[in-house]
Structure 1
Amino acid sequence: MGLRENAAAAAGRTLAADEQHEYEQDPEQETYVDLMAGYEPGDGDPEMVPVHLAWLRVRKEIRAIAKGEQYNAAGTRYNFRGVDTVVNTFGPVTLKHGINVFPVEVDATYRDTTTSKGNKMRECTVTVSWMVLGPKGDALPMLLKSQGEALDSADKGTAKAQSVALRVLLLSAGLTPTHDKDPDASHVERGNEAPARSAESYRDEILDKKTSQGRLQQIGYELSNLQMMNRQVQNETGEMETLGSLGRRIHAERSGGGQ
């Protein structure tokens, strides 16, 4: 029994046959209507494929975006892929394959700050939820989110931050490589390095009367860095002694401390 039948029963009457027919719901109205069912692509229109396939075709066509722009100011220098470069690359290709990207929710926060020169700026950080639609009107099964951050001295911080968020979305969802040279692709052969000195060679230099006091101190630093201070060697009397002890003793004797 429907709402109208219930209302009639509560009033102590029943609906007439014509009233029942008048308010009977047409079952065809409950049927989903596909607005694209009769659509036939014209010249230049995208192929009517599901959104995930259309997005895959976009990725296959773009392949990579190099870091062709350079920031060089205040002693800082690096390469990057700017917003305009990314949007100009994705724009025509998404249009070709019928992909639409819409921001459906923007969550922004603001903070006042200053530059190193004392100029007042406003920082804007946004989290944007995006809907990606395909040529058939179907959407990816979840909203995609990306963040952007920007500084501005006037009223453009929010727009800048959203532009950065769009760049992040396109590069991330597109898995867009840079085609920069992989660090592992280069191999450098090391030159012939001087072999590590033996404990005996240090002993001979310490015992050499031509070795200066300054050089003896330097040998002590080298032995400490090489963790060889406790290495045992045969001293000038034929006894076993550590290099550290030998060096300190010889240094003291030559400076008059051992007399």
Structure 2
Amino acid sequence: MTGNGGQAQEPDGLAEAADANPEHSFQQMVLESRDIKDFLAELALLAASRLSTPGNRVHAGVTVLRRKKPEAVAASDAAATALDELQNGFGDGPCLTALRRRTAILVPDLSAESRWTPYVQTAMEHGVAAILAVPLDLAGDAEAVLNLYSGCSHGFSWEDITTAEAFAAQAASSLRLILRIAQLSDARNDLSVAMQSRTVIDMALGAVMAQNRCDRDTAFGILTRASSTRNVKLREVAATVIASISGEEHITTHFDE
């Protein structure tokens, strides 16, 4: 862990904005972040900057649970990344416990802590003296936890805990919005792909009906048998039929963007 002197890097004035209006700050982060990982990186920077004081530099990281495995996805600095990965490597610790139990956990003095002994001993060797872990309530969409590390025993005051929990609540609200937008975008893309596939298949059915002078059901049977025989998707068979007639290699539809 790095020395206690100095302050964490401030994320482009967001620390000052958070002091004045935390909700506005997170709204700004949502608008300016390129993706969820970028948002979480801003959150870690903001938390570290807000909670650090002269002589007590706080390192912040964010761990998410993916396919039941914890993964360090964002941090205020390299030290926080290393500390998150260290805990994930042990598979247990205050941050992972907070994530699983969905409740904030404070370890004010690691030297007096009797839980998670192998991890705690190693964390102390890396200069950690106090840990605060605050889970992000994402309403079942995902699981994440804000991890805060201090090199000072009792490095987190009750005011710090309140601030961290407020940050986590605001961030979780913003993350739920980002996740919902991403879900809507995925649904829109899936619908677009489905509509494109349906259009290509309809065009191929018309071509097969004209060539074989048959009805739609018969034409559909011809396409599905070809799909099964060649072990390729029905849309690909349909595209091949259209390409053989039109000479075009790339079949576009009204729904292509």
- Comparing both structures, which one devotes a greater share of its residues to strand? 1
TM-score of the superposition, structure 1-length normalised? 0.24
Structure showing greater radius of gyration is 1
TM-score of the superposition, structure 2-length normalised? 0.24
- Comparing both structures, which one devotes a greater share of its residues to helix? 2
